[in-house]
Amino acid sequence: MESIFTVIEIILEYVVKFGAVALELIGIYVMLDAACRGFGRWLRREEDGPRLEEGILEALEFMMCGEVLKTVTAKDMNDYIALGAIIILRFALAFEVQWELKNKAWHEKHELELEEKSASNKN
């Protein structure tokens, strides 16, 4: 009976490791895709807007999912500390990107309101 649990534990460990790596690879792909598209828009001198930040935010979410999945197979306290530090860093990055997106949207809205006021004052 104990050997069955050992086999299940080994299978679970491989599934979790594979899943974590797959999620991190998806995050890398999403981030590279967003960066390449942003670079293309920059080359064409187009307005970038929030698309690049949104791509980074999505990529960080995939990567954080992979890190959370790794906590299933953590063996000792050092593993938990390392995973916790990585999750905190990625959360901080995601928070900063989301804060930037909100500030950019607020500034764009404020500038539009100022333009509308100045246009109505000229009339």
Q: What is the mean pLDDT of the chain?
A: 85
- The pTM of this model reads 0.70
The DSSP secondary structure of the chain, one letter per residue, reads: -HHHHHHHHHHHHHHHHHHHHHHHHHHHHHHHHHHHHHHHHHHTT---TTHHHHHHHHHHHHHHHHHHHHGGG--SHHHHHHHHHHHHHHHHHHHHHHHHHHHHHHHHHHHHHHHHHHHHHH-
Domains in the chain: how many in total?
A: 1
pLDDT at site 21: 94
For 9-66, what is each residue's pLDDT tens digit? 899 899 999 999 999 999 999 999 999 988 888 888 877 666 788 888 889 889 888 8
- What domain range includes position 26? 2-122
